[in-house]
Structure 1
Amino acid sequence: MRLGTVILPTHRWSEGQKIWRRAEELGFHAAYTYDHLSWRSFRDGPWFGAIPTLTAAATATQSMRLGTLVTSPNFRHPVTLAKELISLDDVSGGRITLGIGAGGNGFDATVLGQEAWTPRERADRFGEFVPLLDRLLTEESVTHRGTFYSADEARNIPGCVQRPRLPFAVAATGPRGLKLAARHGQAWVTTGDPKLYEEGTPEQSVSALRGQVEKLGKACADIGRDVAELDKILLTGFTPDRGRPLESLDAFVDFAGRHQELGFTEIVIHWPIPDSDFAADQAVFERIATEAVAELG
């Protein structure tokens, strides 16, 4: 079991860099950030861009993996994103993981002036976005004419430091997204079943996650891939447990252990932000960071 953290891009870099360095000092396997232009309750406060933040984090850290949880097509285009990712992978010395999902409704979905896409259109776009981005990160020149995205001799020399490209962590729970994870992912990401967040129980959440893991296994089997090849990442904070796993080391070990039994290989917890949905005791959080993995065995 590995432990990662999400550091939301809410701090000016003079303060933010201290958090990213501290995350590495605490021994986190990876530190991620959201790739949004704004997000929910943080919309009217400071919020910085994901790619510049990760670039700065790459120069402030030495060995910890870095990435997005998650990037989506809501305001990204595969051609420009590929160029930025290749550059970021180079600056970091090959430490980048791209968390990528179909996106959802909200600020990012309409900020460019477009109407919010339907769930079907988001899935259609995602189904074109991921394979094209895969090609852009592995081929020196790409030409593509698609329904939503096109490229005309897009050149990406010298490519990623990581070969054949930086890893994709595909966020998905539906059948089409799970097929993309099976075919293109080096990891799979879930936040659980959103329908259970308000009124579900932890036991119902574990059952739902078990079902998601089983569906991922089937999607892999359908194309002859061993599901064990994919890391399985749980981004916490969105299950009925909410912040309770961060109340104590024992509470977290119990929570992580139940999900480890389902096959999850990485648990990601949010860096504490006072007076928010991600509020937590910093001392307890740091104890979890330094002791939980050994407790899990």
Structure 2
Amino acid sequence: AYMYPSPIQKPRPPITIAAMGKRMLKIAAQFADTWNSLGGDWNTPAEKMLKKTHERNETLNQYCNEIGRNPQAINRSFLFFGECFNSIFESEENFQDIVGQFKDIGINEFIFYYPREPNQLSKFEQIAKELIPKFKTGRWI
């Protein structure tokens, strides 16, 4: 599709593709600047989300290699929600542990909902102010 006026970003705006299935992962391998995933449904525990995300990440790498694209050219993004999200803001240690595990499998961008539970707000704000800036510089653990 043509746009007028044309986008400011050159050569084009970045494309994020959310994909969990193999067909969409093939499309992400071809066209995505960023691949976004979530690990399951609302009640999926963090360990299972991590395992599924790792499998999908490896599949995406395989598809990139098959078409001659460097897998490192695609950012990896993860949306935390549900059971996993509820546990991530219980403590700084939980945040470091869970996010660190996803970072270890190649995820480099993280998306969080604003907490719905009142008891999570202060920990969420503390993590946002203290840990996330350290995480961005690689000096958080």
TM over 0.5: yes
Structure-2 residue corresponding to 1:288: 127
Q: Report % sequence identity.
A: 26
Which of the pair has the greater relative contact order for Cα pairs under 8 Å at 6+ separation?
2
Of the three residues 192, 209, 227, the one matched with 2:71 is 227
Of the three residues 88, 100, 104, the one matched with 1:257 is 100
Conservation of the 8 A alpha-carbon contact between 2:37 and 2:79: yes
Residue type of the alignment partner of 2:53: L
Equivalent-residue separation in structure 1 for 2:119 and 2:30 (angstroms): 37
Residue type of the alignment partner of 2:124: F
Find the structure with the greater CA-based Rg: 1
Higher helix share: 2
Residue type of the alignment partner of 2:36: V
Unaligned runs of 5+ in 1: 1-135, 137-154
Counterparts of 1:27-106 in structure 2, within 5 Å, are none
TM-score by length of 1: 0.43
Conservation of the 8 A alpha-carbon contact between 1:243 and 1:280: no
Q: How many residues align?
A: 136
The structural deviation recorded for 1:192 is: 0.7
Conservation of the 8 A alpha-carbon contact between 2:20 and 2:38: no
**Closer, same or farther: CA 158–185 of 1 in aligned 2, 3 Å:** same
Conservation of the 8 A alpha-carbon contact between 2:64 and 2:71: yes
Deviations 1:195-224 (Å, cap 9, x if unpaired)? xx53x5433332221101100101111211
TM-score by length of 2: 0.85
The structural deviation recorded for 1:280 is: 5.4
**Closer, same or farther: CA 285–242 of 1 in aligned 2, 3 Å:** closer
Counterparts of 1:260-279 in structure 2, within 5 Å, are 260-274=103-117
Deviations 1:15-45 (Å, cap 9, x if unpaired)? xxxxxxxxxxxxxxxxxxxxxxxxxxxxxxx
The structural deviation recorded for 1:273 is: 3.3
Equivalent-residue separation in structure 1 for 2:47 and 2:113 (angstroms): 22
Unaligned runs of 5+ in 2: none
Structure-2 residue corresponding to 1:208: 52
Cα RMSD after superposing both structures? 1.9
Structure-2 residue corresponding to 1:241: 84
